[in-house]
Amino acid sequence: MKRVFLILLIISSTILISCGTTVYQLKSNCDAISTDELFKSITSLLIDEDFIIKQQDSKLGYLQAETMPKFNFWLGMTEVRVWVFQHVNGKIKASAKVVYTKSNAFGGTTGGSVTYYNDDASEDWTWYWNIRNGLERICQSKIIIESKKKR
């Protein structure tokens, strides 16, 4: 009986550990340019890809942009693409994600998910590649991608 309980505990723990979202963060040195100039350049890239600047604070080194919500017919959910940038001490961190939400007939949110993007993204995802490559060009430094599991 103890063995069965132990096996079930191990299996359920493994399932819980494997569940979760993998968060990808792009990192690069970007000390050759001020935060104001960096954010102006990034804003230009974002606007070209139909993003709207939601928050920007050059003193704190924070910029967040999102697309307007669009209905994804294939998933039956609404999607919003999001870029977040942090520029502190000459280093830039950025993340690209898509937030999916599902609503009921009354407009209440009934579920959803988040998908983070990295360089494994399809070349068709120009909203990712144009901004990622533009960031590398602006900073004149290679981008390194780090990943971590988020529960």
- Rounded to two decimals, the pTM is 0.81
Class of the CATH domain delimited by 25-150: alpha beta
pLDDT at position 11: 39
Domain boundaries, the chain: 25-150
Label residue 12 by pLDDT band (50, 70, 90): very low
Q: Which of 35, 28, 139, 18 is nearest to 91 (CA)?
A: 28
Q: Please compute, for residue 92, the number of CA atoms within 13 A of its CA located in the half-sphere on the CB side.
A: 31
Average pLDDT over residues 78-89: 96
- In this predicted model, which residue has the larger pLDDT, 40 or 109? 40
Residue 23 backbone dihedrals phi, psi, to 5 degrees: -95, 125
91-105 pLDDT, tens digit each: 999 999 999 998 877
pLDDT at position 3: 52
